[in-house]
Amino acid sequence: MTKRIFRAIITVAMVVLLACLVLVMGVLYNYFTDVQLEQLRIETTLAGQGVTNEGESYFEGLDVRGYRITWIDQEGDVLYDTSINPGDMENHLEREEVKEAIDVGFGESVRFSNTLMKRSVYSAQLLGDGTVIRVSDEQNSIIQLFFGMIQPIFFVIIAMLAIALFMASKVSKLVVAPLNNLDLDNPLENENVDELAPFMRRIHSQQRQLRIQEIELGKRKEEFEAVTKSMSEGLLLLNRDGDVLSINKAASEILGVSEFVAGKNILVVSRILEFRKIAQAALEGNIIERIIEINERDYQIDANPIYANDEISGAVVLFFDVTEKNQAEQMRREFTANVSHELKTPLHSISGCAELLLNDIVKPEDTKQFTSQIYTEAQRMMTLVNDIIYLSQLDEGALDMKRERINVYDVAKETVSSLSAEAEKASVTLDLLCEPVCDNITDEYSINGIRRLVSSIVYNLTENAIKYNREGGSVSISVNAEYDDKTYEKYVVLTVSDTGIGIPPEHQARIFERFYRVDKSHSKEVGGTGLGLSIVKHAAKAHNAEITLNSVVGGGTSVEVRFPAGK
Ligand code: ADP
């Protein structure tokens, strides 16, 4: 501001100075010329009188003091000249001042000399004898006059600059001070700024519009954030430089960055190289769909460029957690392979026996053995198929099954009694324990559950305890009510313990997997399918129940299922 005012003042001052200079010099120059001519007239009259009285001797010893005096006869020849030898001078009859003096008695003229820098002023007078006396003097040209004045002009310019600077700072302060004091938050309330009134009104109306737009944008942002926040998928919006415009909670957790990285460059913020490559490629206009592993989870990343006016203005990146889906697919593949494998063995056996019988290769006394094998294998297949159907029902959704209040002790009692024949066959004793008194079963043992699943838990655990026991061993099943002082939660705990062969520690973590067996041949021998504990695991999960396994090889196994009571 000060600079602009200073420049304006200087420009005006310079223009004024130049105009004054031209005017003053013009006037001065004319004035000096007039004064000089007047002086010259007097000098000419004096010289004329001198020559009239003394003739040529007048010039002897004459101190001309810068003047040049020329005496010219009637024919124009120079009789005497104070500066040049008359013999070297040309005829002067045609000189303007001489001509005029001859005509009217007195003549004057002003001429530029050869140098152009100087002007000569001439004054001539006709004397009584017809000769003409001429006096001339040199006059400075206007340029010389200017150079003569250059020093004062320089001082004037310096003074002018100083004054302009001072004035500029004063004026700018005067102009800026009220502007600085303007209350732009309330533009219409400013006083003493009449000149700025239209400007203030404009600011006021624009501020109103901005406020409305701000509220509108705020609302949209809130809506957008509310929608994206609750999304389980990660959403990330980038501008064309890769700066974060928006990132939802899920995306920030997946990428391990703060939710408040808006404005920062994602390529700098994120440490996941593979993701950075995807984002970079999307910003370059590529559509990317890729599954990458981040923190031991699989994410499908869909990255798309965003176009505005045919130019890439940013990118949108979506993250889908496909870990479970991938695992489920993997499990399904393994399951199918296992099922085919498990079915193949009894089918081969059945087909082999049937072929032998069909071709009458079997001796009549052995026929029973073969048909019995066919029956056993068919039974095994049926058990297997039943287990598979049961598991796939659980997979499809045990949660949808009908829940009811069930007493775990009652279910255990029913199930255990259905296995008593099997226990007897295996020479294993079965004991159902209950506290405090078995006949006085209270609601403490009840849970909100699915009767069929609870029954299958008791059945499979008890059956395993019988199957993997030793002759003369025992199985005890207990149902207890427990209360946790810390969490104030109630539990119904089912425990199935046996005195059987036990499970080696390295197998304990895996026996709940489908088709996993510690000793495959032993399992088959006792009619196992490898699916019993998987069914237990799924059924327990459907009740939010926790399974704990304790087993010592040769010392027996104890499996505890802890059901949250009343839920
Ligand atoms: P299976 O039909 O083979 O019994 P399960 O899923 O019920 O299949 O059990 C998986 C494996 O765990 C069994 O093959 C067996 O090796 C082992 N197992 C399960 N329960 C017991 C137990 N009470 N004692 C010893 N081993 C057991």
Q: Is the CB of 501 under 6 A from ligand 1?
A: yes
- Residue 530 CA to ligand 1 center (angstroms) comes to 7
The per-residue pLDDT for 187 is: 80
Taking phi over 0 as left and psi of -120 to 50 as alpha, with beta for the rest, 295 belongs to left
Q: List, in sequence order, the alpha helices (H) in 85-141.
A: 96-104
- Residue 329 CA to ligand 1 center (angstroms) comes to 25
Q: Is the CB of 462 under 6 A from ligand 1?
A: no
Which residue is listed with tokens 């008791």?
458
CB atoms within 10 A of CB 411: 24
Phi, psi of 373 (to 5 degrees): -65, -40
- Residue 380 CA to ligand 1 center (angstroms) comes to 16
* Ligand 1 atom showing the smallest separation from residue 512 Cα: 6
Q: Is the CB of 511 under 6 A from ligand 1?
A: yes
Residue nearest (by alpha carbon) to ligand 1 atom 23: 465
- Residue 518 CA to ligand 1 center (angstroms) comes to 7
Residues 6+ apart with CB under 8 A from 368: none
The per-residue pLDDT for 436 is: 53
- Residue 351 CA to ligand 1 center (angstroms) comes to 28
- Preceding amide of 436 cis, omega within 30: yes
In the chain, which stretches have pLDDT less than 50? 115-116
The per-residue pLDDT for 121 is: 87
Q: List, in sequence order, the alpha helices (H) in 55-84.
A: none
Q: Is the CB of 465 under 6 A from ligand 1?
A: yes
- Residue 372 CA to ligand 1 center (angstroms) comes to 25
Residues 461, 491, 392, 411, CA torsion sign: positive
* Ligand 1 atom showing the smallest separation from residue 524 Cα: 3
The per-residue pLDDT for 217 is: 92
List beta partners, residue 50.
none
The per-residue pLDDT for 11 is: 86
Shortest CA distance to 312 belongs to which of 279, 269, 289, 265?
Answer: 279
The per-residue pLDDT for 382 is: 92
Residue nearest (by alpha carbon) to ligand 1 atom 2: 528
For residue 216, the Cα-to-chain-centroid distance in whole angstroms is 22
Shortest CA distance to 374 belongs to which of 404, 352, 390?
Answer: 352
The per-residue pLDDT for 185 is: 82
Beta-sheet pairing, 556-564 with 132-140? unpaired
For residue 566, the Cα-to-chain-centroid distance in whole angstroms is 51
CB 480 within 8 A of CB 412: no
How far is it, in rounded angstroms, from Cα 473 to Cα 120? 152
- Residue 462 CA to ligand 1 center (angstroms) comes to 11
Query: What DSSP state is assigned to residue 60?
Result: T
- Residue 438 CA to ligand 1 center (angstroms) comes to 29
How far is it, in rounded angstroms, from Cα 110 to Cα 96? 9
Residue nearest (by alpha carbon) to ligand 1 atom 8: 530
Q: Is the CB of 519 under 6 A from ligand 1?
A: yes
Residue nearest (by alpha carbon) to ligand 1 atom 20: 464
Tens-digit pLDDT profile for residues 144-154: 777 877 888 88
